[in-house]
Structure 1
């Protein structure tokens, strides 16, 4: 994730993303946390858009590498009266012990990660996830429908400029190498946003 970009847009992020958040993102975020419990990691928590959907009986830790975004996440948690910890960390090298989390969520994180960081982040998620834990990734994918694909390509320069994001993240291709097995892979908005549910591969070592 571009540290400089998110420090720059932290004060404006929620305003820039509000239309998307209100119209469809909120609904999808709820699915990511449905049924989750225990100790949960919100990886790349940003300004805390997932906070309203944190299970109230779980212990949630949100991490991000942007101090500016975390300031807003903490304020949102106070406003929502949600207890959670928010820590500044690099997703490729967190400070958590092995097999620590029952559930890990990453919402619209891989679309802003440089290609070379996607495998390291997946491996780190695998390391800190319990053997019977769950990892859920909600993110964009490039449509196979020609008209939609063309529209996405038109919007891409703005997406990259404003959020350092893109629709072409290839994180799915790295799952086997990261030691992760796909439990569920389904589109949740057209064929442009999908939700993956993963689990650690018992045959691999974190």
Structure 2
């Protein structure tokens, strides 16, 4: 299996182990993660996927709040998968985690009721953004929902200025579309409907936005 090149958490592989600490320092973690889970709003009979599970912090919160929900995770980074598995085991939570090659998600068509993602798409170039969204569309059931939390258009001049720190780490090429407010366009181009930015939170390093759409 040939894996596409990817930008690790915090932009560099050697910084991955400090990702959780960086989030705690720079963002209102409890607030932005719980709001994401509020929007996902898992039901007992739904099958849910986190696209880009990272260190599994969202999955841990989701399973603690909704222990009966059926959630899986997929990511491209083997190093971050090891961290996620360690944290899940420590929390006593069992969730299947999958690696994929960055091209095709390892799931059948129409497999999931909801797919959610956080702080992933700003690390993808424009072509990869669209490819990933099309893959998510493929694996969602008809009328299934996609929920994305990620950096969006800055709501204030200070938010725009502070976001330069993220861009220095993750690269201007991949993050410019986010800060220019183009995520809704990419989601629409991937054949989703009812595409909206439904909420946002200003953080110390930029504006974190919530997007929602249906297949």
Distance 1:2 1:151 in 2: 20
Give 1:31-180 correspondences, 5 Å limit: 31-37=38-44, 38-51=46-59, 52-54=61-63, 55-153=66-164, 155-160=165-170, 166=175, 168-169=177-178, 170-180=182-192
Distance 1:28 1:100 in 2: 25
| Corresponding pairs, count | 197
The change in CA–CA distance for 1:56 and 1:113 in structure 2 (over 3 A counts) is same
Distance 2:210 2:137 in 1: 17
Residue segments in structure 2 that go unaligned for 5+ positions in a row: 1-5
The change in CA–CA distance for 1:158 and 1:60 in structure 2 (over 3 A counts) is same
Distance 1:6 1:99 in 2: 34
The change in CA–CA distance for 1:139 and 1:127 in structure 2 (over 3 A counts) is same
RMSD between superposed Cα atoms in Å: 2.6
The change in CA–CA distance for 1:167 and 1:56 in structure 2 (over 3 A counts) is farther
CA shift, 1:121, in A, is 0.4
Aligned to 1:166, the other structure's residue is in SS state helix
Distance 2:158 2:137 in 1: 36
Distance 1:174 1:32 in 2: 20
Equivalent pair of 1:140/1:167 in contact (CA under 8 Å)? no
The change in CA–CA distance for 1:36 and 1:183 in structure 2 (over 3 A counts) is farther
Distance 2:139 2:72 in 1: 12
CA shift, 1:35, in A, is 3.4
The runs of at least 4 aligned residues of structure 1 exceeding 4 Å deviation read 3-6
Residue segments in structure 1 that go unaligned for 5+ positions in a row: 201-206
The change in CA–CA distance for 1:101 and 1:61 in structure 2 (over 3 A counts) is same
Moved more, 42-51 or 19-28: 19-28
Aligned to 1:68, the other structure's residue is in SS state helix
Distance 1:177 1:167 in 2: 18
Query: TM-score scaled to structure 2, two decimals?
Result: 0.79
CA shift, 1:24, in A, is 3.8
